[in-house]
C-alpha cells in the first residue's frame, strides 16, 4: 500500500541530499530539480525531457507511456528499479484499474498523477517473492504529450530506503 507524502516537487528539489544525518535521497532531489527547471507553470513536454541529463539518477527512473485512456506501457525501467523489484518492467503494460506488478501498485501511482496533473511523492513497500520487504520512496512526475496538453507520460523515480 502506498502512503502519500504531502510535499510539493519544489520542496523536494530544495531538499538536502541524504547523508548519515538524514535528508532526501539524491536521485529524488536530482530529478525534482531537473523537472522544475523544465516546468514553466505546468508539466513539461515529453520532447523537452532528456533522460541522459539525469546522470546518476537514471538507474532509478521508470517511464510510463499512456497508450490510451486505460493502458500504460513501461518504456523504460532503470537498473536500480529492476534490482529493487526483481524484474525489468520494460515492455510490460498496466491498466488504470489493475496495475500491480512486482508487488507495487503502479495504477495507484499513475492515478494520483493523472487526477491532478501534479507531481506526487509516495512511500511504499516492494515485497517480492522470496525476499524481505524493501521500503521505498517514489516521486512521480507528469509530462505532456508533444502536440497537446494531455498528460501522456509519467516519469517515476523509485529509491529504496534503509529498512
For the segment 142-159, the average pLDDT, to the nearest whole number, is 93
Cα–Cα dist 82/146, whole Å: 28
For the segment 30-36, the average pLDDT, to the nearest whole number, is 93
How many CB atoms neighbour CB 85 within 10 A?
23
Say yes or no to pLDDT of 163 above 60: no
**Confidence label for 19 from pLDDT (cuts 50, 70 and 90):** low
Is 67:96 a contact under the CB 8 Å cutoff? no
Is 110:131 a contact under the CB 8 Å cutoff? no
**Confidence label for 90 from pLDDT (cuts 50, 70 and 90):** very high
Q: Helices marked H in the chain — which ranges?
A: 9-14, 26-38, 79-85, 106-116
Report yes or no on whether pTM surpasses 0.75: yes
Q: Domain residue spans in the chain?
A: 1-16+23-47+89-163
Say yes or no to pLDDT of 41 above 50: yes
Q: What's the grid cell of residue 161?
A: 530506503
Amino acid at each position: 500500500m502506498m502512503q502519500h507524502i504531502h510535499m510539493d516537487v519544489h520542496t523536494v528539489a530544495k531538499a538536502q541530499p541524504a547523508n548519515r544525518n538524514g535528508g532526501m535521497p539524491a536521485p529524488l532531489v536530482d530529478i525534482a530539480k531537473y523537472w522544475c527547471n523544465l516546468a514553466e507553470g505546468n508539466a513539461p513536454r515529453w520532447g523537452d525531457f532528456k533522460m541522459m541529463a539525469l546522470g546518476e539518477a537514471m538507474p532509478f527512473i521508470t517511464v510510463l507511456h499512456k497508450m490510451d485512456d486505460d493502458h500504460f506501457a513501461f518504456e523504460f525501467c532503470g537498473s536500480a528499479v529492476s534490482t529493487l523489484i526483481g524484474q525489468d518492467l520494460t515492455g510490460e503494460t498496466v491498466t488504470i484499474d489493475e496495475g500491480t506488478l512486482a508487488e507495487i501498485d503502479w495504477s495507484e501511482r499513475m492515478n494520483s498523477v493523472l487526477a491532478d496533473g501534479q507531481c506526487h511523492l509516495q512511500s511504499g513497500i516492494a515485497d517480492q517473492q522470496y525476499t524481505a520487504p524493501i521500503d521505498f520512496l517514489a516521486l512521480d512526475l507528469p509530462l505532456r504529450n508533444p502536440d497537446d496538453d494531455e498528460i501522456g507520460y509519467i516519469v517515476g523515480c523509485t529509491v529504496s530506503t534503509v529498512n
